[in-house]
Amino acid sequence: MPVPSHRTRSIAPGGLDGWELYREARALIARGVPVVELTIGEHDVRTDPAILDEMREAARRGHTGYASIPGVLALRERVAARAERITGVATSPEEVAVTPGGQAALFAAHALAGDAGDRAAFVDPHYATYPGTIRSAGLIPVPVEARAGDGFQPREEALMAAAEGARSLLVNSPNNPTGAVYSERTLEGIARVAQARDLWVVSDEVYDSQVWEGRHLSPRALPGMRERTLVLGSLSKSHAMTGSRLGWVIGPREAVALLWDLSTCTNYGIPGFIQDAGAWALALGPGYEARIGAPFARRRAITRRLLAAQDVVGCVPQDGAMYAMLDVSATGMTGLAFAEALLDEERIAVMPGSSFGRAAEGHVRVAMTVEDGAYEAALGRLLGFAARLARGGRRAAE
């Protein structure tokens, strides 16, 4: 066959994309092997039947043809109203582009932010698709390490150095995979870097409804940042609508108009009946979003209690999102080796920290996405497994 493009061949260098252990766990499950799966951010409850009823009724009403490419007006109005409520920044429907999920929003934002060969900075640890998405948009990914010792809050001086010559900076708070919620000080540093380096800030805020400590602050709300910030959002986490693939980009009106053009040439819009259901779901308000997030707040409390009762596994503060980033370095194993051994011996699947960048080496990410009792039992087994490994290592050293 003819040689495929460099762009597609470079998305996952060496054929590795960080999802290898997840696929291994899914293969075991497909063979009938019982595995407790704590790998991906998938709710243990499915989309509310009432939302699905609205989706069905919208289809039956005839909204099955080509839908508005920027997104139906009612949906964009409610996305804008939600953003204004959460961030305090006045937002109009003309500043919203609807996308097929947050992942498509991530690609669209980088397609807007730079040209082929431009540098695009992002904070490491990072969601697993970030580098590949940046490469797929033709840009060069530039990781900026955030240290565990800093609670995975990126340092301004590191951002400033990495952003020289870059076109964009991708940040994510509340953070996947670490659970960090960026402080006001961190975000003010990000704003200073963006203005000094003339950057687009791509702000992934899909977990904005899951803040357990502190408060969510969007870079877009800071002085001088509204015209250079692209906010990514989605109904996947806030409304347990992962499979509906309904996301958005919020940004300056002139930039969003260009994203409408991009949508015309890529997905040509999202099914109208899904958009109608999304607008209906957003009308349920913040109380509904709090109910969807409540299980993760409970499991965070379980995590904190179990971790406090042992001294082998560490954890940075879980201030937001549905994950725990656990430091397993006391076992003497890498995060990948620990995750593989845990799957082999305990049939518990977690993601190695290295799936999310070099800065998370020595860690594993646990998704708090099974029922409370099952989660507590699995985490207890994980901690017991780590303790046995650590004791074995200490005996070997003696």
Same domain, 246 and 113: yes
pLDDT for 396: 37
> Which residues does 250 contact at the CB level (< 8 Å), separation at least 6?
79, 80, 83, 91, 95, 96, 220, 230, 231, 233, 256
Give the pLDDT confidence of 84-138 residue by residue, as tens digits: 999 999 999 999 999 999 999 999 999 999 999 999 999 999 999 999 999 999 9
For residue 398, is pLDDT > 60?
no
Q: Please report, for the domain that includes residue 350, its CATH number.
A: 3.90.1150.10
pLDDT at 18 over 90: no
CB distance 84 to 232 below 8 Å: no
Residue 89 near residue 291 (C-beta atoms within 8 A): no
Same domain assignment for residues 128 and 197? yes
- What's the domain count of the chain? 2
Among 261, 284, 307, residue at a domain's last position: 284
Q: Taking every pair of C-alpha atoms in the chain, what is the biggest distance, in angstroms?
A: 73
The answer on 176 and 126 residing in a single domain is yes
Share of the chain above pLDDT 90, in %: 93
Tell me, what's the pLDDT at 397? 34
Q: What is the pLDDT of residues 211-251, one digit of tens each?
A: 999 999 999 999 999 999 999 999 999 999 999 999 999 99
Q: Are residues 102 and 129 in the same domain?
A: yes
The range of the structural domain enclosing residue 338 comes to 6-46+287-385
Place of tokens 């003819």: 2
Residues 298 and 331 in one domain: yes
The pLDDT assigned to 7 comes to: 87
What is the residue-averaged pLDDT of the chain? 95
> Is 272 in the same domain as 298?
no
Tell me which of 3 and 108 has the higher pLDDT: 108
**Residue written as token pair 């996308």:** 99
Give the contacts of 143 (CB within 8 A, at least 6 positions apart). 121, 122, 123, 124, 126, 131, 162, 357, 358, 359
Give a yes or no: residue 344 inside a domain.
Answer: yes
- State the pLDDT confidence band at 394, using cuts at 50, 70 and 90: very low
The last residue of a domain, from among 236, 256, 284: 284
Confidence of residue 367 (pLDDT cuts 50, 70, 90): very high
pLDDT tens-digit map of 163-206: 999 999 999 999 999 999 999 999 999 999 999 999 999 999 99
pTM to 2 decimal places = 0.95
Number of other residues whose CB lies within 10 A of the CB of residue 381: 16
Return the beta strands (E) in 223-379 as ranges.
Answer: 229-234, 247-250, 314-315, 323-327, 348-349, 351-352, 363-367
Q: Is residue 167 located within the same domain as residue 202? A: yes
- Residues 195, 298, single domain; the answer is no
pLDDT of residue 145: 97
Whether 264 and 366 share a structural domain: no
pLDDT score recorded for residue 15: 67
- Position 117 scores a pLDDT of 96
Partner residues linked to 230 by β-bridges:
202
The answer to whether residue 131 sits within a structural domain is yes
Spatial separation of the C-alpha atoms in residues 377 and 365, rounded to whole Å = 17
pLDDT tens string 312-360: 999 988 999 999 999 999 999 999 999 999 999 999 999 999 999 999 9
Judged against a pLDDT cut of 70, whether residue 395 lies above it is answered with no
Q: Is 223 exposed, middle or buried (0-12, 13-18, 19+ CB in 10 A)?
A: exposed
Residues 268, 305, single domain; the answer is no
Give percent above pLDDT 70 in the chain. Answer: 97
